[in-house]
């Protein structure tokens, strides 16, 4: 119950961002194609109908599954990208703001330990915040499913074009489930970044964003200077960061060959990105954040 109430408190502090951002993205994604459809002229509508009528000849079920999965993933992409920005902002401010406005002393007067408070913030930022954006994306998917259902009825009765055979190959719910099931893997993959931002938020007296960026940038500059001076070929830190945080395109075909179905491509790719060293670093950053909160809570 304490964890649930702690998460509610965190969401309440960011309620405007977590409500309006997904809502505005959803409205734009629904309104833009509908407005474009309404502005089509008669000749353009006939071309669209002819193109749609040719889809009833599609018989490759796996190809259709890929198509629907790609469509759903495309709908999720804007929400996930904006959600990532909100996550980064949340982690960089969650511990700094409560020290700046002195609310940390109020929360410490409650029967909630520092460790639990840290875990609540980590849980909120790593799982709850992206889940809110993914829930908004899921709502948009169901809106388009409803509109597609209405369009199928119109084409069936008005133009004698039947698209009902395609619905069986859509696998809408299983495709959505495959995307949602990647949420935990995504959080584990990004745990080094999230925990580092929390550490910067706890350590900084001012400008936590600079405290999060400048040490990494300074290390990269020093590494570049050393490698250039010693005529070395490799930039270990830069290549490690790029390799870890880049969801490389070459993972997609390899994952497809391994799992044999497009639904689990993303899961396999995320699983391959999780590193024991990265997870250990994340745990270490979380412990340092806890230690600072216990021993140094003032600005």
Helices 276-295 & 114-123 angle (0-180, nearest 10)? 130
Tell me which range, 48-62, 147-161, 266-280, is most confidently predicted by mean pLDDT: 266-280
pLDDT score of 251 more than 50: no
Give residue-wise pLDDT tens across range 166-212. Answer: 666 667 787 788 889 889 999 999 999 999 999 999 999 888 999 99
Q: Is 136 or 164 the better-scoring residue by pLDDT? A: 136
Give residue-wise pLDDT tens across range 207-231. Answer: 899 999 999 999 989 988 888 877 7
Q: Mean pLDDT score of the chain, rounded to an integer? A: 79
Mean pLDDT of 121-136: 94
Q: Is 40 or 271 the better-scoring residue by pLDDT? A: 271
Degrees to nearest 5, angle at CA 161 with 159 and 162: 140
Mean pLDDT of 66-71: 72
Helix, strand, or coil (residue 20): helix
Q: Is 228 or 52 the better-scoring residue by pLDDT? A: 228
pLDDT score of 295 more than 90: no
pLDDT of the residue at 191? 95
């Amino acid at each position: 119950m304490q964890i649930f109430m702690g998460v509610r408190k965190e969401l309440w502090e960011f309620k405007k961002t977590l409500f309006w951002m997904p809502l505005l993205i959803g409205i734009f994604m629904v309104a833009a194609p509908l407005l474009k459809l309404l502005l089509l002229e008669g000749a353009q509508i006939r071309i669209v109908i002819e193109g749609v009528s040719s889809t009833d000849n599609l018989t490759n079920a796996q190809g259709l599954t890929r198509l629907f999965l790609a469509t759903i993933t495309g709908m999720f992409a804007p929400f996930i990208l904006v959600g990532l920005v909100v996550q980064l902002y949340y982690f960089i401010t969650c511990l700094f703001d409560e020290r700046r406005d002195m609310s940390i002393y109020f929360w410490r007067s409650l029967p909630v330990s520092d460790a639990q408070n840290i875990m609540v913030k980590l849980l909120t930022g790593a799982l709850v915040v992206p889940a809110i954006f993914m829930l908004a994306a899921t709502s948009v998917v169901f809106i388009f499913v409803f509109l597609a259902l209405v369009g199928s009825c119109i084409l069936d009765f008005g133009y004698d074009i039947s698209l009902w055979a395609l619905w069986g190959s859509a696998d809408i719910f299983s495709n959505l489930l495959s995307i949602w099931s990647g949420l935990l893997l995504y959080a584990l993959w990004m745990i080094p970044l999230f925990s580092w931002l929390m550490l910067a938020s706890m350590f900084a007296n001012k400008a936590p964003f600079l405290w999060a960026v400048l040490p990494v940038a300074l290390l990269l500059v020093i590494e570049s200077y050393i490698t250039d001076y010693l005529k070395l070929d490799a930039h270990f830190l830069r290549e490690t960061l790029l390799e870890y945080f880049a969801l490389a395109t070459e993972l997609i075909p390899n994952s497809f060959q391994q799992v044999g179905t497009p639904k689990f491509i993303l899961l396999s790719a995320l699983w391959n990105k999780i590193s024991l060293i990265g997870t250990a670093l994340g745990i270490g950053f979380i412990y340092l954040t806890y230690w600072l909160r216990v021993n140094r809570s003032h600005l």
